[in-house]
Amino acid sequence: MNSIWTIARKELSDSLRNRWLMAISLVFATLALGIAWFGAAASGQVGYASTPATIASLASLGIFLIPLIALLLAYDAIVGEEEGGTLLLLMTYPLSRSQLLLGKFLGHGLTLALATLIGFGVAGVAIALLVEDVAIASLAVAMFRFIASTVLLGWGFIALAYVISVRVSEKPIAAGLALAIWFFFVLIFDLMLLGTLVASEGKFSAELLPWLLMLNPTDIYRLLNIVAFDGAAQLSGVLSLGADLPIGAFGLWLGLVLWFVIPLACALLLFRNRRI
Amino acid sequence: MSCFRLENVSYRYDKSPVLQGIDLRLEPGEILGLFGHNGAGKTTSIKLILGLMQPTQGTVSVLGGHAGDPQVTQHIGYLPENVMFYPQLTGREILSHFARLKGASLRQVPELLKQVGLDDAMDARTKTYSKGMRQRLGLAQALLGKPKLLMLDEPTVGLDPVATADLYRLLRELRDEGTGIVLCSHVLPGVEPYIDRAAILTEGSLQAVGDLTALRRQANMPVTLSLDPANSISALERVIDKASTSSGLMIKTDNGRLRVDVQPREKMALLKAVMASGEVADISIHQPSLEDIYVHFIGSGGLAHRGGNQ
């Protein structure tokens, strides 16, 4: 446990040193405030529209940004140590491979969680203070749900980045694969699902189809933040499938948790078999 | 308790053998030189002792335990060849990080940095370090937690002569305190005075192990005598011709001196005869150096191997 914390501590102080933590927090706060005030600009008015609409917009933006940031933060976790020549040295210390990877996860995970909490937390407080007739309780619940799911989504992509990082032997390859993962989950997956829907002309099993959404953590994340306001009407595109999912919010949370636990377990397993 | 013990160890990488039937051990308070061209299996042997890899065959026991166990690795110090560090951290930060990982006292950090001569640079980022400074930081790292087994791969690369001498003095002190030390190096004349035993590896098998005297005996290489004649070279030559019973003597003249290559077992007989004749003014004796022995055991193919060395 001690060595896990030692590794995590170094990652945390690295992200403080290179200003990652500050930069991400700042980006999150700016975006959240921008969306809160100008999110309704398309409908011809400036000012805070409503909590559900703000959260929905934030979540739509989050699915682009969070995976990208998480992948960038973590893609070189192991392959970077190897290229830097420090992996071999670390492995001669009383430190198992699992401890190293878990320490990295703790460090990167905390960095992302802190940035999310600070960035969106500040935005949430600002909305509560500056908007006059906002229902504080429902805003707090929505913000809490949004921050928690954002952190889980980020952890999922950190774990996915590790799967790459323990497998490849060169940093540029890891970066390329990380981008491919981002591209797949954020852009391609929904398109493929939509294509399947249209092409099958409704012949595809209606029970199976909604479950396919669970195969993409970004879809689970969006469902969680939008469905929560029983706003099935707001679900557009493939997400309308989510209305048919018989698992409820708890299932969606579980889905997000599994989406970081399973890739992390895979990364640990693959790392154990890596030749150093 | 031995520092390490390799018994009939073999290791294969993708079916091609890297190590074959290695028997090697190191006792506390001993400096072992591990020599061989690159690819001979030095690094593989070290990695097996560190527990980074498992042998395909045979047993590796380290400090009375199993290689790679945390209780064992805690007492091993290792300096890899071409050691690298996190460029954005300072020397002190890096050493503190490694000290925490090793469970060593943080009070050691400034002491060790001072000991390796980095006390002026300990708060500078290591990306500003020269090769020699990185090497010293690597050495400080290996000394964390007072290891019982110390393994150094090319420790003198990038060190100036004074720092090199300091390093060897330090290693001697550690040895006298009971640390077992493995030294891999290509600078054979440099390490020769400091090692207690040498192990020579070629193509994954151990060619020779032992102290220099034993290796010289095993190699049976001629000793070179350099003689100053008291009167004339030809008189001295006659004395030697008469004294030598077997063939294989080489007599060369250069600068008015005689160089005589003599088999070790005939050396004393020849010396006595020369001394008794009164024809010699001065004698110096050159034993085969570690380098000579190394080349002898590596064989004639050695040059080809050494081509890929540097």
Parse chain B into domains and list their residue ranges: 4-75+147-217, 222-286
- Which residues does chain B have within 8 Å of residue A85's beta carbon, measured at their own beta carbons? 80, 82-85
Q: What is the pLDDT of residues B5-26, one digit of tens each?
A: 999 999 998 888 889 999 999 9
DSSP secondary structure code for residue B41 in this structure: S
Nearest by CB: A6 against B73, B80, B100: B100
Q: Do A92 and B76 touch (CB under 8 A)?
A: yes
DSSP secondary structure code for residue B184 in this structure: E
Contacts of B23 (CB under 8 A, 6+ apart): B6, B7, B8, B9, B206
**Which has the higher per-residue pLDDT, B235 or B196?**
B196
Q: Which overall architecture, per CATH, does domain B4-75+147-217 show?
A: 3-Layer(aba) Sandwich (3.40)
Q: Is the pLDDT of residue A151 over 60?
A: yes
In percent, the amount of chain B with pLDDT more than 70 equals 93
- Rounded Cα gap, residues B96 and A86, in angstroms: 15
Q: Can you say whether the dihedral through the CA atoms of A27, A32, A38, A43 is positive or negative?
A: positive
Nearest by CB: B82 against A14, A85, A91: A85
Mean pLDDT in residue range A65-75: 95
Tell me if B4-75+147-217 shares its fold with B222-286: no
In percent, the amount of chain B with pLDDT more than 90 equals 55
Predicted confidence at residue A201, as pLDDT, reads: 76
Mutation target among B50, B75, B78, B84 for the A interface, most CBs of A within 10 A: B84
pLDDT band for position B140 (50/70/90)?
Answer: very high
Predicted confidence at residue B168, as pLDDT, reads: 93
- Which residues does chain B have within 8 Å of residue A17's beta carbon, measured at their own beta carbons? 88
Nearest by CB: B70 against A10, A86, A94: A94
Please tell me if residue A276 touches chain B, with a CB cutoff of 8 Å. yes
Work out the burial of residue A143: count CB atoms within 10 Å of its CB; fewer than 13 is exposed, 13-18 middle, 19 or more buried: buried
Please tell me if residue A17 touches chain B, with a CB cutoff of 8 Å. yes
Q: Could you tell me the CA-to-CA distances from B278 to A143, B51, B97, B207, B235 in Å, in that order?
A: 105, 62, 69, 43, 10
Alpha-carbon A114 to chain mean position = 13
Q: Do B103 and A2 touch (CB under 8 A)?
A: yes
- Rounded Cα gap, residues B166 and B115, in angstroms: 10
Mutation target among B100, B134, B154 for the A interface, most CBs of A within 10 A: B100
Q: If you measure CA to CA, which chain B residue comes closest to A17?
A: B88
Tokens at A4, concatenated = 């896990």
Tokens at B31, concatenated = 């400096």
Q: Do B80 and A14 touch (CB under 8 A)?
A: no
Helix (H, G, I), strand (E, B) or coil at B130: coil
Predicted confidence at residue B58, as pLDDT, reads: 94
Parse chain A into domains and list their residue ranges: 3-273
Q: If you measure CA to CA, which chain A residue comes closest to B47?
A: A92
Residues in chain B: 310
Q: What is the pLDDT of residues A87-110, one digit of tens each?
A: 999 999 999 999 999 999 999 999
- Give the count of alpha carbons within 13 A of B87, CB side only: 8
pLDDT band for position A276 (50/70/90)?
Answer: confident
- Rounded Cα gap, residues B138 and A186, in angstroms: 44
Q: Mind spelling out the 3-state secondary structure of A28-60?
A: HHHHHHHHHHHCCHHHCCCCCCCHHHHHHHHHH
Q: Could you tell me the CA-to-CA distances from A114 to A66, A120, A275 in Å, in that order?
A: 13, 10, 34
Question: Do β-strands B180-184 and B31-35 pair in parallel, antiparallel, or remain unpaired?
Answer: parallel
Of residues A181, A170, A162, the one with CA closest to residue A97: A162
- Give the count of alpha carbons within 13 A of B80, CB side only: 18
Predicted confidence at residue B132, as pLDDT, reads: 92
Please tell me if residue A89 touches chain B, with a CB cutoff of 8 Å. yes
Please tell me if residue B106 touches chain A, with a CB cutoff of 8 Å. no
Helix (H, G, I), strand (E, B) or coil at B33: strand
Chains A, B: CB pairs < 8 Å: 57
- Which residues does chain A have within 8 Å of residue B103's beta carbon, measured at their own beta carbons? 2, 94
* Alpha carbon of A3: minimum distance to chain B alpha carbons (Å): 6
Q: Do A89 and B82 touch (CB under 8 A)?
A: no
CATH node for B222-286: 3.30.70.980
- Rounded Cα gap, residues A107 and A101, in angstroms: 10
pLDDT band for position A53 (50/70/90)?
Answer: confident
Q: Do B100 and A86 touch (CB under 8 A)?
A: no
The gap between the terminal CA atoms of chain A, to the nearest Å, is 23
Q: What is the pLDDT of residues B33-87, one digit of tens each?
A: 999 988 888 989 999 999 999 999 999 999 999 998 999 999 999 999 889 999 9
Predicted confidence at residue A41, as pLDDT, reads: 66
Q: If you measure CA to CA, which chain B residue comes closest to A10?
A: B97
Nearest by CB: B83 against A3, A89, A95: A89
A240-A245-A249 Cα angle (round to 5)? 100
Q: Could you tell me the CA-to-CA distances from B210 to A225, A268, B207 in Å, in that order?
A: 72, 43, 11
Work out the burial of residue A169: count CB atoms within 10 Å of its CB; fewer than 13 is exposed, 13-18 middle, 19 or more buried: exposed
Tokens at B100, concatenated = 């925490």
- Rounded Cα gap, residues A104 and A110, in angstroms: 10
Predicted confidence at residue B120, as pLDDT, reads: 92
- Which residues does chain A have within 8 Å of residue B76's beta carbon, measured at their own beta carbons? 92
Q: If you measure CA to CA, which chain B residue comes closest to A83?
A: B84
pLDDT band for position A217 (50/70/90)?
Answer: very high
